[in-house]
Amino acid sequence: MSGSKCQRKDSNTRQNANSSESTAEGSARMPKRDAEFWFEDGSVILIVRDAEFHIYKGILADYSPVFQDMFSLPQPSTHGTLTAPDTCPVMHLSDSPEDLRHVLRVCMPKSDSSFGPFTQQARPSYHMISAVIRLRHKYQMQNMVTQGVDYLKRWFTTDYPAWSAGALYEPDTPLECVHAMGVINLARLVDVPALLPTALLMCCGLDEEVVKGFVCEDGSLETLSLDDIGRCITAHSRLAEHMLVLTMRIFRPEVSDDCNFPTKCYRILQAMLEGVENELENFAFSDVFVSWLEPFERHGGILFECCTECQEMLKRRDREESFAVWKKLPDIMGVHVEGWAATYELFSDSSAGAVAVLRGH
């Protein structure tokens, strides 16, 4: 895992088609004050491309031993603009202004919010989380790296009930499906393989975007490594196979042992199995953990024509078959996550109803 390189030029492989132009322009243009982080009583000026930040070096030094070491060295006090006192030390950084701004918002928050930047209430964007993890990894701000990773784990989770609830598909989620590519690269960068199975799963549904990548807010292009693109291609066909087997097992026309109307329920199960062909778009959808019963539940659907015992049997099959695939997910995606199978064997042995409660059944 840790051997893969993050697809970012500023960490060796980030792709920025305009990097040479921006470098040339940045050297020709006088840097401008950042509108958000320019403190008149600041103690150091950080110049990042064509932006300059007048901030408090003591605060950054408290967060980062790297900055602490950098600030301990003599820094030039001459400055290319007239925006700050000549006596203020100046330091040039190779990061982007957008990334640095995100980090400074965490170190020097201007909001009096009672909740932190990595909470569900704050709902930080992918770009903020990405910047914080990458720069804090670079500058050894480990506490913030941990908080950023923990936030991503809430979305790209190892928890089956949480994933099957479909939070990432809600319209108000702060993360988009394409951001899964960036999550994979972040997981490689900080060596957190637990993020990989669901992030790779999400990438399997991106079609051509998984090759093209997506544009970040600073103009750089986030892409997957060729190895991870290959994993997605291989996994896509394996997921389709599992999807086919899963549907056949869920809708097999065998009624519940406690069925009250076996002839009627048998015909309904047969009709549901035949009706799967009308839901072919679900086979193209790579996430096998979205319930197959939903199409048959809508608007008083055919599911409710079964007796109560057969309805419960179908819901149980749906959970159990989906969960069986979940336990194999790292292997399907071509990655190894230590303890994944052991963890979910324990979960499986606890209470079958726990999944049902969390999924609202």
190, 224, 258 — which closes off a domain?
A: 224
68 falls within a domain: no
CA distance 40 to 17: 36
Q: What is the pLDDT of residues 49-74, one digit of tens each?
A: 889 999 998 998 888 889 888 888 87
CA distance 326 to 159: 10
191, 224, 257 — which closes off a domain?
A: 224
Angle at the Cα of 220 from the Cα atoms of 219 and 223, rounded to 5 degrees? 140
Please, what is the average pLDDT of the chain? 81
pLDDT-derived band at 215 (thresholds 50, 70, 90) equals very high
CA distance 120 to 283: 32
CA distance 89 to 70: 11
What's the confidence (pLDDT) of residue 16?
Answer: 52
Pick 307 or 9 by higher pLDDT. Answer: 307
142 falls within a domain: yes
Task: Give yes or no: residues 267 and 353 share one domain.
Answer: yes
Q: 51 is written with which tokens?
A: 């932006």
Q: What is the pLDDT of residues 225-267, one digit of tens each?
A: 999 999 999 999 899 899 989 989 999 999 999 999 999 999 9
Question: In terms of DSSP bridges, do strands 44-48 and 51-55 run parallel, antiparallel, or are they unpaired?
Answer: antiparallel
Pick 207 or 307 by higher pLDDT. Answer: 307
Task: Give yes or no: residues 201 and 272 share one domain.
Answer: no
What's the confidence (pLDDT) of residue 280?
Answer: 66
Given a cut of 90, is residue 336 above it in pLDDT?
A: yes
Question: In terms of DSSP bridges, do strands 214-215 and 221-222 run parallel, antiparallel, or are they unpaired?
Answer: antiparallel
Given a cut of 50, is residue 17 above it in pLDDT?
A: no
Given a cut of 50, is residue 201 above it in pLDDT?
A: yes
Task: Give yes or no: residues 214 and 106 share one domain.
Answer: yes
329 falls within a domain: yes
224, 254, 269 — which closes off a domain?
A: 224
- Domain tally for the chain? 2
Task: Give yes or no: residues 125 and 203 share one domain.
Answer: yes
Task: Give yes or no: residues 248 and 217 share one domain.
Answer: no
Angle at the Cα of 294 from the Cα atoms of 293 and 299, rounded to 5 degrees? 120
Task: Give yes or no: residues 257 and 148 share one domain.
Answer: no
330 falls within a domain: yes
313 falls within a domain: yes
pLDDT-derived band at 282 (thresholds 50, 70, 90) equals low
Given a cut of 50, is residue 25 above it in pLDDT?
A: no
The answer to whether the predicted template modeling score (pTM) of the entire model surpasses 0.85 is no
Contact 203, 210 (CB under 8 A): yes
Structural domain containing residue 254: 237-358
Task: Give yes or no: residues 243 and 171 share one domain.
Answer: no
28 falls within a domain: no
What's the confidence (pLDDT) of residue 127?
Answer: 93
Q: What is the pLDDT of residues 85-136, one digit of tens each?
A: 557 889 999 999 999 999 998 888 876 554 557 766 677 889 999 998 999 8
What's the confidence (pLDDT) of residue 29?
Answer: 66
Given a cut of 60, is residue 22 above it in pLDDT?
A: no
Task: Give yes or no: residues 103 and 215 share one domain.
Answer: yes
Task: Give yes or no: residues 129 and 244 share one domain.
Answer: no
